[in-house]
Amino acid sequence: MNQTEAQQQLETLRKQLHRYNYEYHTLDKPSVSDYEYDKKMRDLLDIEAEFPELITPDSPSQRVGAEPLSAFQKVRHNVPMLSLGNSFDEQELRDFDRRARQGTEEEVKYVCELKIDGLAVSLTYEDGVLVRGATRGDGTTGEDITVNLRTIRSIPLRLDSPETLEVRGEAFMPKKSFLSMNETREEKGEVPFANPRNAAAGSLRQLDPRIAAKRNLDIFLYGVGEWQGESSKSHSERLERMKELGLKTNPEWKKCETIDEVIEYVNSWVERRPDLDYEIDGIVIKVDRLDQQQALGFTAKSPRWATAYKFPAEEAVTKLKDIELSVGRTGVVTPTAILEPVQVAGTTVQRASLHNEDLIREKDIRIGDTVIIKKAGDIIPEVVRVLDDKRSGEEEPFSMPEYCPECESKLVRLEEEVALRCINPNCKAQLREGLIHFVSRNAMDIEGLGEKVIAQLFQEELIHNISDLYKLNREELLQLDRMGEKSVDNLLKAIEASKENSLEKLLFGLGIRYVGTKAASTLAQEFGTIDSLMEADVERLVQVPEIGEKMADSIARYFDKPQVTELIEALKQSGINMEYKGTKLNEGPEDSPFKGKTVVLTGKMENFTRSEAKNIVQELGGKVTGSVSKNTDLLIAGEDAGSKYSKAEQLGVEIWNEEEFANALDN
């Protein structure tokens, strides 16, 4: 492939990948499978590796996260990013309407939008290409966070039209991502984020963009700073035009004819906000016509043509009756506040997270204290602060125990971790929580095995570990409370059906540290069977795409434990499938020179691109990896092969040049 052909292929691939991103992350209507998307992305990366001079700022490859920065550069906003004035009740909204009508001396219509609780950012496009992303900062000067914003897949790197404009919006972390990230942080002994807004802001202000890339952030665009040649007459037209360009706008906005309609819209979202999968802290109301906005103008701090209705603060005062300890499946011991029941954000709250001992000490929280609680980001109840003046002197200071509250093993604090852990592999609490994870939807997906049923099974000593689950019989289950014949029969059918799951479901269910659903699927496809995976050492594991050293070390350590070997053997005896059932890589013809071989490609070839050579090897049953190791069977080397060639020589790996590669294909 010459440079002209490479340029043409890259343009086609980039256009396709931009479209797939838009369909998946903005429309939520993907038109291709993850496999097809990943295949085209690999093709793109291969060609760009071959022709690095053809990499452009709008290439989908630029989303993955560049090298860490030393500092953020300052960015001056040509049009200031002003904050909005606030309204807190119906009368203040009506006062805003009165001022708007007086200021224009005309009928005024409004656009209402959800006020996303995230980080305000601006995106600048030149001729349709994203060239800069910045924080709001003080409104006049922000920070250049382009490399981090590129990692948000709902931000188009190229618009559907060569427009030059600066748009504004709110970057945020969805609730699901927030909960998952905090769960992971707590398992690692790290301090969890207080709310999704802090998590989003902290992610985008990371100097290492690879961290931002892992945080699953999203964005809604809601406004314009500058737009060359814009023809929109109203804010509602502008929102429609932004959507046509491929920019993600919030679908819940509404055009309102009167202030009464505005108030009705506001009141409806006070009730409906918990149903959203992202956080909002109010409603933004804007005068719709742009000429009326211009007539109303600005104060020194905010526009006169917009206001933000802020939802009432969701806090409550209650009594902290006790502090309960729980042990998670990774052994982390977490304190939880037991409260006198109180209403917060429309629900009754009786428990609140205290995260760890350091937080309890920092806030001086004692048993018996009167405390203020809130839902962090309206999701997780937490203790905000103690009301010291309500203390009677009978409150009891709290300290974490030395021994596990479940199995009485000595607790440890691992290096660089805040949390205390129980490291006893036979701790009942860890086994119980591990089983809850094992039967969950993304793991073995055994319907009917909820937390209460699992707790009963442990209490009655019918199960002690995962393998016991497959030894349960009908008579035993019928003895349990609230387990009738139909429930028992359905449960046994679900347990039996789970034996046929593909390997990736089992791998995720085992709860190996750092192995999520995607890594489990990658490992299952790569190794094919549980036995092959168990035999792999760290060096072999890190050759698998997306499996880093930390995860590889965790996997190797897990399968090196004698009790894990016993567990896998017991599961095999129960008839659990131990093989990958998904789409496998091409096994290739029987006489293929690459069948079953691990191949590394290096250097430049005259007649093949790296991508073409890789596809040929894979189609003929070979596996292409990126680094040379003792597990490498063959190195195919072009010109300027470099360090991989030297390492292959040292390890005695077979080496072919391009001519030998071509001859093998001819034969």
Give the Cα-Cα-Cα angle 130, 135, 140 (nearest 5 degrees): 110
**Which of 510, 404, 494, 497 has its CA nearest to residue 450?**
494
Tokens of 351: 């428990």
Distance of CA 162 to the CA centre of its chain: 31
With a CB cutoff of 8 Å and minimum separation 6, the contacts of 189 are 332, 413, 414, 416, 417, 418, 419, 421
DSSP 28-73: S--SS-HHHHHHHHHHHHHHHHH-GGG--TT-GGGGS--SPPS-PP
Tokens of 108: 């005024």
15, 39, 40, 115: which is the annotated catalytic residue?
Answer: 115
Whether residue 646 contacts residue 665, with contact meaning beta carbons closer than 8 Å, is answered with no
Span between the terminal Cα atoms of the chain, in Å = 23
Q: 74 burial class (0-12, 13-18, 19+ CB within 10 angstroms)?
A: exposed
Coil/strand/helix, residue 610:
helix
What is the rounded CA–CA span in Å between residue 23 and residue 29? 5
Tokens of 341: 């029941």
Give the Cα-Cα-Cα angle 405, 330, 373 (nearest 5 degrees): 65
DSSP structural state of residue 193: P
In this structure, which amino acid lies at residue 160?
A: D
DSSP 106-153: S---EEEEEEE-SEEEEEEEETTEEEEEEE-TTSSEEEB-HHHHTT-T
- CA-based radius of gyration for the chain: 29
Q: Is 175 a catalytic residue?
A: no
**Could you count the other beta carbons within 10 Å of the beta carbon of residue 651?**
13
**Which of 577, 580, 596 has its CA nearest to residue 588?**
596
Tokens of 191: 């301090």
Q: What are phi and psi of 516, to 5 degrees?
A: -95, -170
Whether residue 400 contacts residue 324, with contact meaning beta carbons closer than 8 Å, is answered with no
With a CB cutoff of 8 Å and minimum separation 6, the contacts of 49 are 610
What is the rounded CA–CA span in Å between residue 475 and residue 457? 13
The residues that are catalytic are 115
